[in-house]
Amino acid sequence: MARYVELHPDNPQPRRVDQIADALRDDALIAYPTDSGYALGCRIGNRDGRDRILRIRGLDDKHHFTLVCRDFSQLGQLVHVDNSAFRAIKAATPGPYTFILPATPEVPRRLLHPRKRTVGVRIPDHRVVHALLESLGEPLLSSSLILPDEEEPRTSGWEIKEELDHQVDVVIEAGETPSEPTTVVDWSQGEPEVLRYAAGDPDRF
């Protein structure tokens, strides 16, 4: 049965945030709110967590996972960002964008796209996520909580708790959550290609 944790959206309670971070270190899978709907998340080193995300979402091994980062410095440790991308990506973060870029050796091979050796990265504009990443001290392996046969991420923690009660370990509730997914920009070939037009303004790319 999933633990249901309520956090203040602007001033998340540090003790509760630390408890969730401790659960993640113990290989928990969480459902958490972001600036573009709910997501599923676990530690990068949690092999079982990755497989659980794929099962919940009904996806195969070709799925592009996202590494959710605290800041641009952390993002730069996980992906190669050339000069043409640096300024544009830094200016767009934090925000509702996911960028697909070539991964550095810091990223386990099992998380990479099998042919392209790329991974998605993003820095959400959400105080609860920032507090959680600060407490955890490392990025989250993540994927939007879009269930099979659905097109938009979930927005209600209580509904997620009821539906996925035995498939996730922690559900975070932090008030109103937007429903539109991130805009996805593939920058792995040196030029930006918008793969999904959504919450983030694509015109800047």
pLDDT, position 84: 82
pLDDT, position 9: 95
pLDDT, position 83: 87
pLDDT single digits (tens) 23-33:
999 999 999 99
3-204 placed in CATH 3.40.50.920: no
> For the chain, which ranges sit under pLDDT 50?
none
Domain ranges within the chain, ordered by starting residue: 3-204
The rounded mean pLDDT for the chain is 93
pLDDT, position 143: 94
- In percent, the amount of the chain with pLDDT more than 90 equals 80
DSSP string, 10-39: SS--HHHHHHHHHHHHTT--EEEEEBTEEE
pLDDT, position 17: 98
